[in-house]
Structures are given as C-alpha cells and as structure tokens.
A and B are shown apart, each in its own frame.
Chain A
Amino acid sequence: MIKIFIIALLINNIVIMRYLALCSYVGMTSDVGQSVGMGFAVTFVTVLATAATWPLYHFILVPLHLEFLKILVFILVIAALVQLVEYYLKKNVPGLYAAMGIYLPLITTNCAILAVTFENISNNYSFITSIVYAVGVSAGYLLAMVLLAGVRIRIRNSTVPKFLQGTPILFVATSLIAVAFMGFSGLIK
C-alpha cells in the first residue's frame, strides 16, 4: 500500500514523469498560492471521483456487461461531481468556495483525474488501494505544481536567454526537475 503511494507520488509522478495535466501545470503556476489552491482542489475531486467511479464500474457496469461505456460514464460522472461540489461548497462552506471556487470548473477537463479513474480499473485495484493511489497521484500533482511555482519566481528575477523567454524556459526548467526526479527511481525495487 505504501509502495503504491510512493510510486504514485515520486517515482511515477503524474506531471513530471508521465506528462499528464500539463495544461494546468503551465497555466496555473504563476504564483505559489494559486498552485497550492489548484493542487488541493484537484486532490479533493480526484479522491471523490475515485470513490464514485469504482463502485459504479464494479457494481453496475460489469454486471450489466456495459464495460465499453466506461469512457462516457466516467467523464459524465466527473463533470456532474464537479458541479455538485461547486454548488455544495457555495452554499455550505463559502470560505472554502472562495478559495477553491475559481479552479473547480477547470478541473473537469484535467486529464490527471480521468487517468486515475481508468488506471484503478485497468490495474484491478481494490477500493481501498484505489483511494490510496488517488491520494498519491494528487499529492504528486500538488508537489509538481508547487515546485514549478517556486522555480518561476526565480526565473522572473533572472536573465533568460532571449530564444528561451516565455514558455520554452518553463519546459527547460521542468526537464531539469525531471532529471532530479529520476533519482527517486531506485527508491523501491
């Protein structure tokens, strides 16, 4: 269980080693506070989405032999879930909504969440393992977001070669972060 968590968090980090969720990685890291907010919003929705799609797949789609509908069902469940969470937070926890609200609509199309729900199915994880995997992956996402946000502060205060200014330097920085992350690969045999 811990092994799965560590692999999802560091060794196969969802953003840095597996290139998922790059849109928000580039778009939402211009300051640290924002990236933390997005990271927690994604964690919240990923865990909820896993908790909703796993029973749905194993108790409804499999007995009815409707496995081929999984892409359609999962994306709709996630979209509906995000809407519900948004309404619930708006009404009952306005403080949290103010902090997280603007990120929620963006999350529907975040490929990390959909990828986690698919992988839970294709790896035949049990319900508990799926939740642990979801937490690990989203913690990895949070980590990557905060790392890049920190690097971007430094980039702003340094002279970047002219041909790399703008987006290219972000990818070069990510490439270097990825080299560092490759060092984790020996952590678990």
Chain B
Amino acid sequence: MKRLWTLFKQGIIYENPLLMLMIGLCSALAVTTNVSNGIGMGLAMTFVLLCSEIIISLFRKVIPSSIRIPIFIIVIAAFTTIIDYVMQAFFPELSKSMGVFIPLIVVNCIIMGRVEAFAYKKGIVDCVADSLGMGLGYTWVLVAIAAVRELLGNGTFAGLQVMPDSFQPILFFTLSPGGFLVFALFISFNIWLKGRMNKTQARRDVAKEDAA
C-alpha cells in the first residue's frame, strides 16, 4: 500500500509531468484560459492515461517489442476517440471551447512516455496508481495556471465573479502572451522549490553523517 502511495505521490509532485519533466506543454497552455476548461482537459487526459496504461499493462506479455510503438498509438487513439465523443455528447459547450485539443491528446507526450516507460514493464495495480498520480498531477497544475489567468484576466473563478466590480480585468493574461508569462513564473517557482528541497536533503545527509 505504501509503495502505491509513493508511486501516486511521484506523479503529483516529484515527477510532475508539466513542472518537473516539462512534457505535454501544448495543451497545458492552450486550454488554461479558464478553470472549467482546465478541469475538463485534466480529467479527459487522466481518463485516457488510466485506460491506456491498464490495457497496455494487461497485454504487455504478448506485445512484441519491435512493433510496440504502433500498438501503443492505436490503443491511445481509441481511448482519445471515446473521450472526444463522450465530451461532444455530454459537455458540448466545453468540447467546443477546447476545439482541436481533445483529439490532440493522442500525440501528448505524457501518455506515450508513461506507457512506454512504465505500463509496458509494470503490473496493473502499479499502473493504476501511476496513471492516477500523473493524471491528477497534470490536472492540478492546469487548474492552478488557469486560476491565475482567469482571476487576473477576467476577474472570475470557474465563471463566478470573485473580484470586486472596481477591478479592471487585465486582458493580457487571457491572451497568449499572458499564458507564456504565467507558465514561466510557475516553472521558475518550481526550480526554486526543487533547489530548496535538495539543499534540505543535503543538510540532512550531512547531519546524519556527523551523527554516525
């Protein structure tokens, strides 16, 4: 149980696909103009990741390694098609505002990377923990970026007015330059945090050696 929790935490923080590994950036910047888009994209992504990892993990013994990449692509494309149609049917508004980015889940490097590096080698239970961790790690970063951009650019949070009426929305943040700027600040905060964590770890190691 503890091992699964560790795997889950890896995706959420230590190996966060967006902030630490910096893959799958395209969709992350494009859909984060408001919070509901961020949540929708994050959950769609988590669904595709979870299902693809389970299927690949189940069949990993019978997939020959020489043709594994095309097989991965087919599996991922199948689940992407499913989520695309589900969103069109049940959330037409959301699906329209995200446009081409739902079908583009199929070429998202996060999914391909996890399937290749993790699901093809590990058992099904580990895969569930890993994909949920990675998927939710992706989702929370999306929501955080979207919250900043929506709050400053529109004065709302998930469509609800939060800022007082006197607040003048800064359009810059909902347009593309703002997205790049907010993301740059997120990465730089994260690099700083990582440096801090490494320093604390090093200090702890030194203390341990002194004690020994």
**Chain A residues engaging chain B, CB cutoff 8 angstroms:** 16-23, 26, 68-72, 75-76, 79, 109-111, 114-115, 118-119, 122, 163-164, 166-172, 174-176, 178-179, 181-182
Contacts and interface: CB of A to CB of B under 8 A. Distances in A.
Given A23-B109, A71-B84, A163 B70 contact: no
17 contacts: A18-B176, A19-B29, A19-B30, A23-B23, A23-B26, A69-B81, A71-B84, A109-B107, A111-B107, A122-B100, A163-B188, A164-B184, A168-B184, A171-B180, A171-B187, A175-B177, A179-B177
B74 A171 contact: no
Contact of B77 (A16, A71, A111, A179): A71
Q: Taking chain A's interface residues, is the majority helix, strand, or loop, or is none over half, making it mixed?
A: helix
B183 A171 contact: yes
Given A109-B109, A167-B184, 18 more contacts: A19-B25, A19-B30, A20-B104, A68-B81, A75-B107, A79-B70, A163-B191, A167-B187, A169-B184, A171-B187, A172-B180, A172-B181, A174-B180, A175-B177, A175-B180, A175-B181, A176-B177, A182-B177
Interface of B: 22-23, 25-26, 29-30, 70, 73-74, 77-78, 80-81, 84-85, 100, 103-104, 106-109, 112, 175-181, 183-185, 187-188, 191-192
B103 A118 contact: yes
B104 A75 contact: no
Given A72-B81, A109-B112, A114 B176 contact: no
Contact of B29 (A22, A167, A179, A182): A22
Main secondary structure of the interface of B (DSSP, over half): helix
A162 B107 CA distance: 34
Contacts, number: 107
Given A20-B30, A76-B74, A169-B184, A114 B25 contact: no
A70 B81 CA distance: 8
A18 B187 CA distance: 20
Nearest to B29: A19
A115 B100 CA distance: 7
Contacts of A110: 107
Contacts of B180: 171-172, 174-175, 178
A118 B84 contact: no
Contacts of B81: 68-69, 71-72
A181 B179 CA distance: 14
Contacts of B178: 175
A30 to B, nearest CB: 15
Nearest to B22: A167
A41 B107 CA distance: 18
A22 B78 CA distance: 24
Contact of A111 (B26, B74, B80): B26
Contacts of B103: 70-71, 114, 118
B164 to A, nearest CB: 28
B26 A71 contact: no
Nearest to A13: B176
A22 B26 contact: yes
Contacts of B73: 75-76, 79
Ranked 9 nearest A-B pairs via Cβ: A171-B184, A175-B180, A178-B177, A168-B188, A72-B77, A19-B29, A19-B30, A175-B181, A22-B25
A168 B77 contact: no
A65 to B, nearest CB: 14
B70 A21 contact: no
Contact of A18 (B30, B112, B177): B30
Looking at B22, B81, B100, B192, the one whose CB has the most chain A CB atoms below 10 A away is: B100
Given A22-B26, A182-B175, A75 B181 contact: no
